[in-house]
Structure 1
Amino acid sequence: MKIAIVGAGIVGVTTAYELARDGHEVTVFDQRSAAAEEASFATAGLLAPLLLSPWALPGYGLPLRVLGAQATVRLSGGLDRRNLAWLWRWRTAGKQHSAPAATLERLAQYSQARVQAIASQHELDCEASTGRLVLLRSEQELATVQPALQVLRDLGVAAHEIDAAAARVIEPGLSPEAALAGAIHLPGAGAGNCRLFAQLLRQGTQGSGVRFAFNSRIERLHGAPVGVQVQGDAEPRRFDAVVLCAGMASAALLPALGLRLPMTALYGYSVSAPVREDTHAPRASVVDLGQQISITRLGQRVRIAGGAEMAGASAEHHAPTLQRLYRTLNDWFPGGAQLSSGLQVWRGARTMLPDGAPVLGASGVPGLWLNTGHGAGGWALASGSARVLADLIAQRTPEVPLDGLGMRRF
């Protein structure tokens, strides 16, 4: 089949890989000049388990304060009706634990296995690490995380409650002065450089059934027959199928076909810093549950990621949020990273639906498929979502269930 993919982030690139692997002729369109230039550029780097990652799903280890000084989401520029409606649905999903948590965790585990298999087969070095600690500052935080722990244990995922001394054995760089009540050890957790993996995979797929059309903005999607119209083209380009993997652009392209998704962009931050002293830096990844901040070792760098704000793409960096990232790093790994020079500071969008889960599968328009809205789990879910989507297009039964991930839930 001739298949178009809209979006060359980590989801689009992995989807192109899986479709080409099945023998399809694939064209990937993206408005930027290279792969993984937007939401996939400098992610936290966390793979499975998903449920204990910051911003994974509402109600699983994440406080749900909407207003006030301690609000979970920073509202920049005021609260309009659309944002208020989204926040209400997000908060309701969190209170009711209505997100398809088990489905997403299975998909994340499957995705991690696909990343490992692809990296091994093609000898891709994406600065991978294994193991994670979820750091708990209080017993109250341990109670907060119990719903997520229960889901993980029901699925057979190793998640061990350990004390502070055991945590410092696993991560010797943890400050002995930091107040640490205990931790959750996830020995099978993974992490890696999302953008590096996407770029290496893009280089490997180009010329083997995949063509990348960069600097191509899709103006409109077409149905009956399905196709895409690139800005500047007089006529649409026709394909046998189109897969939409375009983040926030997905929400803008769908209404012309009578489809709508309640997406919003929650912007987060990351700071990547050179390792200063190896013995004081993290070996793998840690998550500060209360702060919803992750600290991940990526080769010879440390990446600190967190924060969430509703604001425009061009909004200025929020200095207090960045200061909180630096402070959290210094709380746990003082002296581990060089913060005076060589920093990469990034702000990017998490394209989220109110229940935190993506839309994966048929759109209802013949030939148009959806693989979008992965939120904070784009890297963690991408390879699994891509394989599942390729199986659906081939009319094969996917290896993991997709309950709760369809378009009809909205």
Structure 2
Amino acid sequence: MKICVLGAGVVGLTTAYYLVKKGFQVTVIDRQPGVALETSFANAGQISPGYSAPWAAPGIPLKAIKWLMQKHAPLRVSAEPEIKKISWMVKMLGQCNNDAYSVNKSRMMALAEYSRDQFISLRKDIGIQYQDGQGGTLQLFRKEEQVDAAEKDIKVLKALGVPHEVLTPDQIAQVEPGLRSVIDKFKGGLRLTGDETGDCYLFCQSLKETCEEIGVTFQFNSDIKSLSTQANKLNGVITEQGLQAFDSVVVCLGSYSKELLKACDIDIPVYPVKGYSLTVPILDTAYAPISTVMDETYKVAVTRLGDRIRAAGTAELTGYNLDLPKSRTETISHVVNDLFGKGCDLSEAEYWTGLRPMTPDGTPVVGASGIDGLYLNTGHGTLGWTMSCGSAAVIADIIAGDETQINSQDLSVKRYKK
């Protein structure tokens, strides 16, 4: 059975790997000259099942208004009256209630925890190296109300059996000694001990080599024009070289999945949420992070990647704009300087931007599309690497007709038709 995976980011690569392990003949097509050159290139470096939560939550609408007025705002919304943006925002606001949050977070946590287990198995199976670490994620609270608000998440973590630690400022300094000189800035923390770190780009480079060794074919520099369907059945993929016939296709194009599927009358509520990152060499390890810290006030994650610091954050609703203005990187620069300024020289930082494919409820779209032979694995938002192995294993099971290891019913696009 010939299967085509559209997209060579981390979701597309893991999908190809799990499919070829099932015995399928797999081809990956991407417009870029190599793997992981878009959203997967310079992400936050986190594999964070414990931090998997929907952005749509009770109280977010009021917080969003306050954020828009901050100098170092975690959220920015462009002034252009874009219909897709407005429609997506309305749908997201509809999820900002207790019942929806509980369902969405539980669904996301289940997939993310399953994905973390797949990462562990993958390391054992192929010995993949990607500057990985298993030091957990430390969520930092600068305000007492943030400590109080975390109780809701802690209840979910307890219900799902997710290992975690509630820390005092003194305990934060023990876990992350690089914060000792600024520990007076924090009221408390929540440590998710099962979370991991690593370089997603290195992961993708290594996984590509493994995929090639076990039979995956890659077609780079190939623009995908459209999908070929007839009588509600997929025929293949049309690229600039013409029609290529496949038995099945899995769309893993992130933010660009929506437009391709629209021509097939499949509407997925995925919007490109722009994010920024910086990477800077460490000058003094005594003032550098050991693993990942998440500044809850600014929604910026700061991660240790070997001899580098990677920081990522900001959610900007501005369509497919990939400009990289200095004004948009000030928030992540501010957080790195505020927390670990003594450990690095920000004048040496390299900046990057990418588009996160977000759904209104935070959960990716994984499963059958409604067209025979066409499958979806997209919409992972900020958790693409975290959920990549899990969602890839799920879609591989679905295509193979095997029972999925977690409940996959509410992961498909059908949930938006209820």
The TM-score with structure 1 as length reference comes to 0.94
Could you tell me how far 1:267 is from its partner in structure 2? 0.3
State the alpha-carbon separation in 2 of the partners of residues 153 and 280 from structure 1. 32
Pairs within 5 Å for 1:282-293: 282-293=289-300
Match of 2:275 in 1: 268
Could you tell me how far 1:227 is from its partner in structure 2? 3.5
Deviations 1:81-102 (A, max 9, x none): 3212211211221234525211
Match of 2:55 in 1: 57
Deviations 1:169-224 (A, max 9, x none): 01000043341101012222111111111110001111422001011111111224
State the alpha-carbon separation in 2 of the partners of residues 35 and 163 from structure 1. 42
Deviations 1:346-383 (A, max 9, x none): 10000111111111111010011110111111000000
Match of 2:111 in 1: 107
1:384 aligns with 2:390: yes
Amino acid at match of 2:128: L
Match of 1:94 in 2: 96
State the alpha-carbon separation in 2 of the partners of residues 121 and 297 from structure 1. 25
1:306 aligns with 2:313: yes
CA contact (8 A) 1:226 1:238 kept: no
CA contact (8 A) 2:273 2:355 kept: yes
The counterpart of 1:163, out of the listed 141, 147, 168, is 168
State the alpha-carbon separation in 1 of the partners of residues 52 and 297 from structure 2. 12
Pairs within 5 Å for 1:196-215: 196-215=202-221
CA contact (8 A) 2:13 2:207 kept: yes
Secondary structure (helix, strand or coil) at the match of 1:383 reads: helix
CA contact (8 A) 1:87 1:354 kept: yes
Could you tell me how far 1:72 is from its partner in structure 2? 5.2
Could you tell me how far 1:37 is from its partner in structure 2? 0.6
The counterpart of 1:251, out of the listed 245, 258, 266, is 258
Note closer, same or farther for the CA distance 1:181–1:265 as it changes in structure 2 (3 Å cut).
same
* Unpaired runs of at least 5, structure 1: none
Match of 2:77 in 1: 75
1:399 aligns with 2:405: yes
1:362 aligns with 2:368: yes
1:409 aligns with 2:415: yes
The counterpart of 1:230, out of the listed 218, 235, 238, is 238
Deviations 1:235-256 (A, max 9, x none): x211111101011221011122
Secondary structure (helix, strand or coil) at the match of 2:298 reads: coil
CA contact (8 A) 1:10 1:379 kept: yes
Note closer, same or farther for the CA distance 1:270–1:197 as it changes in structure 2 (3 Å cut).
same
Deviations 1:34-56 (A, max 9, x none): 00111111111111324357xx5
Note closer, same or farther for the CA distance 1:263–1:26 as it changes in structure 2 (3 Å cut).
same
Aligned length: 406
CA contact (8 A) 2:280 2:350 kept: yes
CA contact (8 A) 2:59 2:96 kept: no
Amino acid at match of 1:281: A
State the alpha-carbon separation in 1 of the partners of residues 52 and 27 from structure 2. 35
The counterpart of 1:133, out of the listed 135, 138, 146, is 138
CA contact (8 A) 2:45 2:197 kept: yes
Amino acid at match of 2:389: S
Q: Which moved more, 1:146-155 or 1:388-397?
A: 146-155
State the alpha-carbon separation in 1 of the partners of residues 292 and 355 from structure 2. 22
Match of 1:281 in 2: 288
Considering only aligned residues, what root-mean-square deviation do their CA atoms show, in Å? 1.9
Match of 1:15 in 2: 15
Note closer, same or farther for the CA distance 1:285–1:86 as it changes in structure 2 (3 Å cut).
same
Taking only the aligned residue pairs, the percentage that are identical comes to 34
